[in-house]
Amino acid sequence: MRIIVDGMGGDHAPLQILKGCEQAVRELGVQITVTGPEPALREVMRSEGIDPSGIDIADAPDVISMEDDPLSVVKDKKNSSMGLALRMLSGGEGDALVSAGNSGALLAGGTLVLRRIKGVKRAAFAPVMPTAEGHVMIIDSGATVDCRPEFMAQYGVMGSAYMKRIFGLQSPRVGLANNGSEECKGTQLYVEAHKLLKADGRINFVGNVEGRGIMLGDCDVLVADGFTGNLILKTLEGMGSFLIKELKGMFYANLLTKLAALMLSSKLKPFKKKADYKEIGGAVLLGLTAPVIKAHGSSDARALKNAVRQAAAMARADITADIARAMAPSEEA
């Protein structure tokens, strides 16, 4: 198993990316190819004492910034760390790709270089969050803002395929984000999406899911348009960060509360895991012909390693083939 990692993507690249790669090789037993300007990457590895075993470097001198046009990855910055990573994945030189770089560039480049699975109308960002009962995938969380009902129906099918294989759910419950539980609720887009999801025999559609139900575990796959899904995801992240911060303030208030925090320490870690989005690793980019994981822009080494784990699991389970099979009959129909 070889994972291609965009060495220059993210706020803490390349140091945290390289450290994450070192951890991934050691703990997960994968091989890594890191893309980026080779001399700079080698120098960081040397000066930081990062063990190079299991890590290949593929030279890509250009760098895509957050300000660059997403399409630069396939145009004037083909030799960027992300552009090369995509071309290598497309050429079969690795099993999956991880990037903490510009989401728009990854989506545009992924769609143009790797292409969508036959029948898939739009690729979607699909992060998975821990809930009270298990996990929920939010699909789409920002790839397509101007959405159509038929895209959303496909999100349900793709998300279902992922949750089946990766979380071992027999029949993942697919819900539609909405402002009420009745079928008639929501904008025209959502009323139409509801009809399509309900009629789709490939999935276990459980109907509309309100905001309150998302973290309480009302569904395993939450379908939304990219605009709404992005706001839901980031609102969850922000609320989690906010409460963690408030909690910290509470624990550091005085000696007594610090002692209490110490007494709770073994329990605090799993709690923090559920509230802190940094634990999650990355968002899958579903619908492309090969596995791509978008790691959080602020990823540190541990987050990057978790994203590599996720990428390897997705490649191993061959989710791409599952989605291709699921899409084939609907194309014939």
Residue 178 Cβ, how far from a second copy at the closest point, in Å? 8
Residue 9 Cβ, how far from a second copy at the closest point, in Å? 18
Q: Which CB sits closer to a second copy, 132 or 321?
A: 132
CA distances from 56 to 214, 237, 243, 255, 293 (A): 41, 34, 40, 49, 19
Strand 135-139 relative to strand 55-59, pairing: unpaired
What DSSP character marks residue 167? H
Residue 266 Cβ, how far from a second copy at the closest point, in Å? 9
Question: What is the CB neighbour count within 10 angstroms for residue 230?
Answer: 19
Q: Which helix (H) or strand (E) holds 23?
A: helix 15-28
Q: Are 17 and 47 in contact (CB under 8 A)?
A: no
Q: Which CB sits closer to a second copy, 18 or 295?
A: 295
Q: Which CB sits closer to a second copy, 238 or 329?
A: 238
Q: Report the C-alpha gap between 301 and 205 in whole angstroms.
A: 37
Q: Which CB sits closer to a second copy, 64 or 312?
A: 64
Measure CA 188 to chain center.
28
The letter for the amino acid at 191 is: V
- CA 149, 179, 174, 202 torsion: positive or negative? negative
Residue 139 Cβ, how far from a second copy at the closest point, in Å? 15
Residues that bind a second copy (CB under 8 A): 131-132, 142, 145-146, 177-179, 185-188, 190, 210-216, 226-228, 230-243, 245-247, 250-251, 253, 256-257, 259-261, 263-264, 267-268, 271, 274-275
Question: What is the CB neighbour count within 10 angstroms for residue 109?
Answer: 29
Burial readout 70-97 (b: 16 or more C-beta within 10 A, e: otherwise): bebbbeebbebbbbbbbbbbbeeebbbb
Residue 57 Cβ, how far from a second copy at the closest point, in Å? 33
Residue 319 Cβ, how far from a second copy at the closest point, in Å? 25
98 - beta bridge partners? 5, 293
Q: Which CB sits closer to a second copy, 67 or 331?
A: 67
Q: Report the C-alpha gap between 116 and 111 in whole angstroms.
A: 6
Give the residue among 282, 274, 276, 311 at the shortest CA–CA distance from 299.
Answer: 282
- Enter the tokens of residue 291: 């596995």
Q: Which CB sits closer to a second copy, 39 or 238?
A: 238
Residue 160 Cβ, how far from a second copy at the closest point, in Å? 21
Residue 305 Cβ, how far from a second copy at the closest point, in Å? 23
Q: Which residue has the tokens 């922000």?
A: 238
Q: Which CB sits closer to a second copy, 215 or 317?
A: 215
Q: Which CB sits closer to a second copy, 24 or 236?
A: 236
Q: Report the C-alpha gap between 19 and 45 in whole angstroms.
A: 8
Residue 66 Cβ, how far from a second copy at the closest point, in Å? 11
Q: Are 138 and 233 in contact (CB under 8 A)?
A: yes
Q: Which CB sits closer to a second copy, 20 or 186?
A: 186
